[in-house]
Homo-oligomer: A and B are copies of this chain.
Amino acid sequence: MLSDKNVKLEDVAKLAGVSKTTVSRVLNHRGYLSQKTIDKVHEAIDNLNYRPNQIARQLHERKTNLVGLVFPTMNDPFFSQLETKLDSQLYKLGYKTLLGNSQNDPDREQNYLQQLLNHQIDGLIVGSHNKGLTEYNNLNLPIISIERHIADHIPVVASDNYLGGKLATQQLIDDGCKHIIHTNYPELIASTNQLRQNAYVDVMHKNNLPVTIYHIDFDSSLEDKISIIHQLFIEHPEVDGIFADNDTNANLIMQTAKKLGYKIPEDLKIVGFDGSKMVQMFLPELTTIQQSIDQMAEVAVELLEQRIEGNTEVKSVTLPVKLIKGSTA
């Protein structure tokens, strides 16, 4: 078996009977070259199974074609769809994806970030939830954020969360619900989830309905989430509508409600948020606010590319949402 790793440009040159410079010219299509030489060199490359060492090339060009992705997890319908699409879009532009899933652990996120930077990534797409990481502020690196405000100069790609919250709440009201509860994260400062909640509060107020919010931490265990949901039903047996901040929680709420004897949608109506492909597949009955997840990825990569190209005037982008009508509301 030929060992690729140790074959270098020089070996190709030797075998083809030409100079290093000529091989480099063939590889990079520069200068004058005869067809004969080009063929000879390619033949040698094939014979030796030569592969140019990107590391050496990158060192010279000071560009790695590596983009880091920093997200809390991949094992979630929303993030897995998003990262899949990001990877796919980056691939089209010739970038490779370096993972940095932080599991929402701040230490780990910071550490990941350091490592990604050490790897000389050309850019970064961030969608992690951690608060208080100031590292991002001082980076001299193209960054795009998804659904999260990081720093003033970092463009954000986000859904029209306020509209989403409005649509969800209004749907429940139109369905005749009087006691509508909203679930969301406990810490919303930097998250665009705040807008979903704001819309809920505004619409409820406008309709003179009572506002009730339960906090479900994104990172807490399944058991803890279910326990909070149980508590919700115990403390508010009158609830007849729930607007969950994401589909995963909507699902848990549905399952818990069914166990407690609620009939959906007769006794209780539910609207989720996200509308990922996976949830559409496993839970098509869920009425939800669908984000344009794939489009978010497309736009994020476009913006990042612009930043990498040196454009400093990159603006944040808001994307449309739409209500997907299932049978739960």
A residues lining the B interface (CB < 8 Å): 1-5, 49, 51-56, 58-59, 62, 64, 66, 73-77, 80-81, 83-84, 87-88, 91, 96-101, 103, 108, 112, 114-120, 138-141, 222, 248, 251-252, 255, 277-279, 281-284
Contact = CB atoms under 8 A, between A and B. Distances in A.
B101 A98 contact: no
B97 A99 contact: yes
Contacts of A52: 118
A18 B216 CA distance: 53
Nearest to A59: B55
A251 B2 contact: no
A77 to B, nearest CB: 7
A278 B120 contact: no
Contact of A140 (B4, B59, B62, B80): B4
A65 to B, nearest CB: 9
A148 to B, nearest CB: 20
Given A5-B140, A84-B101, A88-B101, A281 B75 contact: no
A284 B222 CA distance: 13
27 contacts: A4-B117, A4-B140, A5-B62, A5-B140, A51-B117, A51-B118, A52-B118, A53-B118, A54-B119, A55-B55, A55-B59, A66-B98, A66-B119, A73-B84, A74-B83, A74-B87, A75-B278, A80-B80, A88-B101, A96-B99, A96-B100, A96-B119, A97-B98, A97-B99, A99-B99, A252-B281, A279-B282
B75 A103 contact: no
A248 to B, nearest CB: 7
